[in-house]
Structure 1
Amino acid sequence: MLKRKALEQMRLWKERAKGNEALLVEGARRVGKSTTVLEFARTEYASHILIDFAQAPRDILSMLEEYKNDLDTLFLMLEAYYRVKLRERESLIVFDEVQRFPPARELIKYLVADGRYDYVETGSLISIRKNVEGIVIPSEERRLEMAPLDFEEFCWAMGEGQLADLIRRSFEELKPLPDALHKRATRLWREYMLVGGMPQAVVSYVEERDFAAVDYVKRGILSLYLDDMGKYGNGDASRVRSVFAQVPGQLAKHEKKFTLASVDSSARMRDYDSAFFWLEDAKLVNVCRNSTDPNVGLGLHEDGTSLKCYQADTGLLVSQAFADSVEMLDEVYREIMLDNLSINEGMLVENAVAQQLKAHGRPLYFYSRYDRGNARGTMEIDFLIVRGYDNAAMKPRISPVEVKSTKRYGTSSLDKFRASFDKRLGTEYVLHPRQLQVEGDRVYLPLYASFCL
């Protein structure tokens, strides 16, 4: 059982909700929702019932519909069917893959009002029309999004929990790690980019240390996602698949903004809005949007026509990008690991940083401005986040984040951004392969410390 941060978030939910709301755990397929929820049920409750709507028999579905107004009878039947004794305020009922049976989700309102037990739902593609049509969405839901493992969780899985703690302390104290530990953390970060954070892939790597075996797992997950696009994409299936297929190529460009012309020369963003929505709702991509007037409240100035699209998991991005190299997998992975392969590594590094930010609940924004004829007014910042600023009594300020994949780089965009928006900004962060260094309000962080932001 992998140690997941979501488990602690579930425990906090139980403590705060006290039975007054259900928990809806969302996430991509194979991200570990059901496994983590079952561990939560096992460790935090006297008993539990799990109803898996991917394979629940018709009898169970009929019970939930027929006795929704007679909960006493419903609970007795569930106890008898699953051979589990439910105890008031000590038991949990789990609706697994709830999107496959929307009436169960609608029933949550009445189950929570009854108050006898706690309820957790898991699901993916929760918001698409097919999965909400004809039901009233319960207001008694608290949402928790589960992402693939972040780098800290990967460290835990690899038996490097103490190193992860030292990385976090280094970030908090702004003191670099000793060189030997820095090198170890850097190598672990490169392993993380190749393996990614899908639990099945991580377990395979922990047990076998075989990139080919890991890649086999990841390609199976990608195939599952492509099947889902065909099954649930409805009229948008072809556009969804086209956008998803273009992600590696778009990120390989120096200018990483998604260009629809690469999908269809006549494409318009309004025609592809629903495809991006589907991929975001399925948690298969992390969309980063342009905030044209960077200030606290980044979404208030969002340009919906200008975006970057990252793979939700960097390990899957690697397998997707090298789909034509199956016969040379060991060599490809080894060369990437040793930094010998001639690829745009910035694609993987920037995707991995986006994955860390998203895993910590940060909405993704960047800043881009092109001023024809005025190079001083042209700039692009990879990410914008909001953090408390030490020199302003920890009041929230914009922190620009630049990601560098090589040891030699420039910071002209960051310099121009500071000159343009100085009073709005707090600490600037440059994520790079080198050691931690501080220069006034600018902090140069090792890439492996990105999970701390």
Structure 2
Amino acid sequence: MLYRKIESLIEAHLQSGSKKILLIDGARQVGKTYIIRYVGERLFENFIEINMVEDSLGDRLFANTKTVEDFYLQVSMLAGSKMKDKENTLIFLDEIQAYPHLLTLLKFLSQDNRFTYIASGSLLGVTLSQTTSIPMGSIRKVRMFPLDFEEFLYANGMNEIAISSMRKKFERLEALDESMHNKMMDLFRKYLLVGGLPDAINSYLSEKNIQSVREIQSEIHDYYAADASKYDEENKLKIRRIYDLIPSNMENKKKRVVAQNIENKKGKTFQNYSDEFEYLISAGIALNVQAISNPVFPLIESSGKNLLKLYLNDVGILTGILYGNNIRAILDDEKSINLGSVYETVVASELIAHGYKLFYYDNRSKGEVDYLIDDYGSLSAVPIEVKSGKDYTVHSALNTFVQNEDYHIKKAFVVSNEREISSKGKITYIPIYYVMFFHAGSDGEKLQF
């Protein structure tokens, strides 16, 4: 079984006695159902799982369920013998987005407090935004992502002692020895190929066959593209077009979305597609990075909507699109191949999975910095520059950025393939894999590095 960090969160919530219902959100195929089932069956004597998509395509028992009493009646038809009491009965509502009215019903199930509940679904961000009565005080919504790099290390046999030791070195800004660095870079490059989707990782671990991995990634990419247009008939072609453009946008110098390219119509602006962007982001299949021209803490106050970067939620899908079955382009670190977009995708997915809201610096005269994150400890922004080649010390825009006294920058990071850790002024150079130890903290208020 693949180790998932969210397991401890689910277990702690279910054992806390909280009346709030845990709602696990996330894109398809990130492992929501599996991990909830694993924890639920282990903790509860009576585990009842109901897949609402299957119900909507079959008996439709829950299609018109609006009251707690009606809900219990329908559940009893499926698993009446397992409906005991709150302490030993967990009811898992999977794919709850199939019936948006059940999201409203969660409030009343929580108040009734007869059983323990947990729910999950894809496109929940979209569904909740379209739900007239959101049960905000009755649910705890947590987003689940594909496996991050640390979880990938566990999947490949690295133990907690080794990872804890690396974390301590990172905290002290110490480099790994050369043999360990080489091992980490080898695993990092394999992560670029395999990504973090559980099916792709399990296929890689069992078969070591890149073609099998690519087939899984391609299938899931197609699922995502279908999901992107399934729930919005009016705008589905524009949503699909924006999603399909993400890889090619990543290969452009600026990497940001160009509104006029979406439908190849001059005069179109970001405002014309704001709903479509929000749809892709809420669905969890696209990761957004917003532009900042005045990087003053907190960054959200000066973010702009008109300049936006979108990344795929899984780096394995991206490398499959860009390089197909040719693994040498990544494993051999080919000089002719620019992995900038691939490295940026990994950093985006790591930081978002670890609790950060992402921004980038864009200034017409002063250049661009890849990422900005908030540091609540120093009440300042922290710039991060991502380098995939040998010229990792060349970053004129970052140099100008950290020297601007109006921005009050205390520290900055450049991540690259380089093993050695060094500092020059406010800029610290660290190996790319150390990004796995950047965490916003459970309360989102303390930057840990």
Q: Distance in 2 between matches of 1:249 and 1:91?
A: 48
Deviation of the 1:61 alpha carbon:
1.2
2:306 is aligned to: 305
Q: In structure 2, which of residues 409, 418, 431 is the aligned counterpart of residue 434 of structure 1? A: 418
Q: Distance in 1 between matches of 2:205 and 2:237?
A: 36
1:335 is aligned to: 329
The 5 Å alignment of 1:155-194 reads: 155-161=153-159, 162-194=161-193
State the TM-score, normalizing by the size of structure 1: 0.89
Q: In structure 1, which of residues 60, 73, 78 is the aligned counterpart of residue 75 of structure 2? A: 78
Deviation of the 1:78 alpha carbon:
2.6
1:349 is aligned to: 343
Q: Which ranges of 4 or more aligned residues in structure 1 deviate by more than 6 Å?
A: none
Deviation string, structure 1 residues 171-220 (Cα, Å, up to 9, x no partner): 11211111000000011001001111011001111111111110011011
Structure 1 residues 383 and 181, CA gap change in structure 2 (3 angstroms): same
Deviation of the 1:59 alpha carbon:
6.1
SS in 1 for 2:82: coil
Q: Distance in 2 between matches of 1:379 and 1:132?
A: 36
Q: Distance in 2 between matches of 1:169 and 1:5?
A: 19
Q: Distance in 1 between matches of 2:355 and 2:226?
A: 28
2:367 is aligned to: 379
Deviation of the 1:262 alpha carbon:
3.0
Structure 1 residues 80 and 429, CA gap change in structure 2 (3 angstroms): same
2:298·2:380 contact (CA, 8 Å) conserved in 1?
Answer: no
Structure 1 residues 385 and 133, CA gap change in structure 2 (3 angstroms): closer
The 5 Å alignment of 1:437-448 reads: 437-439=421-423, 441-448=426-433
Q: Distance in 2 between matches of 1:303 and 1:423?
A: 17
Q: Distance in 2 between matches of 1:436 and 1:396?
A: 28
Q: Distance in 1 between matches of 2:415 and 2:129?
A: 41
Q: Distance in 2 between matches of 1:7 and 1:230?
A: 31
1:310·1:351 contact (CA, 8 Å) conserved in 2?
Answer: yes
| 1:138 maps to 2:135 | yes
Structure 1 gaps of 5+ residues are: 372-377, 389-393
- Equivalent pairs: percent with the same residue? 28
Which has the higher mean CA deviation after the structures are superposed, 224-233 or 180-189? 224-233
Structure 2 gaps of 5+ residues are: 439-449
2:403 is aligned to: 419
Deviation of the 1:6 alpha carbon:
1.1
SS in 1 for 2:275: helix
Letter in 2 for 1:407: K
2:446 is aligned to: none
1:436·1:443 contact (CA, 8 Å) conserved in 2?
Answer: no
Deviation of the 1:396 alpha carbon:
3.4
Q: In structure 2, which of residues 412, 437, 441 is the aligned counterpart of residue 452 of structure 1? A: 437
Q: Distance in 1 between matches of 2:172 and 2:391?
A: 25
1:427·1:441 contact (CA, 8 Å) conserved in 2?
Answer: yes
The 5 Å alignment of 1:264-413 reads: 264-266=264-266, 267-322=268-323, 329=325, 332-340=326-334, 342-371=336-365, 378-387=366-375, 394-409=377-392, 410-413=394-397
2:225·2:243 contact (CA, 8 Å) conserved in 1?
Answer: no
SS in 2 for 1:281: helix
Q: Distance in 2 between matches of 1:132 and 1:297?
A: 25
Deviation string, structure 1 residues 52-94 (Cα, Å, up to 9, x no partner): 10112536316844xx2537xx546634522424322332211
SS in 1 for 2:140: strand
Which has the higher mean CA deviation after the structures are superposed, 116-125 or 191-200? 116-125
Q: CA RMSD in A?
A: 2.1
Q: Distance in 1 between matches of 2:85 and 2:111?
A: 17
Q: Distance in 2 between matches of 1:224 and 1:63?
A: 28
Letter in 1 for 2:414: V
Q: Distance in 2 between matches of 1:215 and 1:115?
A: 45
Deviation of the 1:10 alpha carbon:
1.6
Which has the higher mean CA deviation after the structures are superposed, 421-430 or 440-449? 421-430
Deviation string, structure 1 residues 290-326 (Cα, Å, up to 9, x no partner): 122212221111110011111111111112234xx5x
Aligned residue pair count: 429
Deviation string, structure 1 residues 385-442 (Cα, Å, up to 9, x no partner): 1235xxxxx4433211110001223022221111114762232111010114132543
State the TM-score, normalizing by the size of structure 2: 0.90
Structure 1 residues 85 and 69, CA gap change in structure 2 (3 angstroms): closer
1:199 is aligned to: 198
1:79·1:86 contact (CA, 8 Å) conserved in 2?
Answer: no
1:383·1:402 contact (CA, 8 Å) conserved in 2?
Answer: yes
Q: Distance in 2 between matches of 1:353 and 1:425?
A: 20
1:248·1:320 contact (CA, 8 Å) conserved in 2?
Answer: yes
| 1:36 maps to 2:35 | yes
Deviation of the 1:271 alpha carbon:
1.3
1:7 is aligned to: 7
1:5·1:153 contact (CA, 8 Å) conserved in 2?
Answer: yes
Q: Distance in 2 between matches of 1:367 and 1:360?
A: 20
2:444 is aligned to: none
1:365·1:384 contact (CA, 8 Å) conserved in 2?
Answer: yes
1:374 is aligned to: none
SS in 1 for 2:235: helix
Q: Distance in 2 between matches of 1:133 and 1:307?
A: 24
Q: Distance in 2 between matches of 1:427 and 1:160?
A: 31
SS in 2 for 1:317: helix
The 5 Å alignment of 1:86-105 reads: 86-105=84-103
Deviation string, structure 1 residues 102-141 (Cα, Å, up to 9, x no partner): 1221111111111222221111112436x76564111211
Q: Distance in 2 between matches of 1:286 and 1:415?
A: 27
Which has the higher mean CA deviation after the structures are superposed, 288-297 or 188-197? 288-297
